[in-house]
Amino acid sequence: MQHPAIETVGLDLLFQALSDPVRLAIVAQLAEGEASCAALNGDRPKSSMSHHFRVLRGAGLVHTRTAGTSHVNTLRRADLDRRFPGLLDAILAAYAAAPPAAAAA
């Protein structure tokens, strides 16, 4: 799987990835700890979730590794905090205060 170097990640891709409520909810869940794709799918189609994870990886938000037959995802927290200090904390605090209704759908 492709994971961009954090130095190449721009705010445009990061905000574009987070503009989708499903992806924002995934990032919020991963802020609590790593999780498999299956644990994060929310009963959504596998093809839809594959797309969401590809966008999150491409934006430098998520790292996915293979563990047997599963894909395990982690938030690239340390990398993001180094590249954009305080940004992830602000995004997660705003999400916790008012999560988008579509994220639960």
pLDDT for position 100: 73
Phi first, then psi: give them for residue 71, nearest 5 degrees. Answer: -110, 125
Query: What confidence score (pLDDT) does residue 46 get?
Result: 79
More confident residue, 24 or 103: 24
The domain spans of the chain are 7-96
CATH class of segment(s) 7-96: mainly alpha
Beta bridge partners of 65: 72
Q: Give the model's confidence band at 102: pLDDT under 50 very low, under 70 low, under 90 confident, else very high.
A: low
User: Could you tell me the CA-to-CA distances from 54 to 47, 81, 94, 101 in Å, in that order?
Assistant: 11, 21, 24, 23
Which H or E element spans position 74?
strand 70-75
Residue 73 has a pLDDT of 94
pTM: predicted TM-score of the whole model, two decimal places: 0.89
Backbone angles phi, psi at 95, to 5 degrees: -65, -45
Position 105 pLDDT exceeds 60: no
Rounded to 5 degrees, what are φ and ψ at 63? -115, 130
pLDDT in tens, 37-84: 888 877 787 778 889 999 999 999 999 999 888 889 999 999 999 999
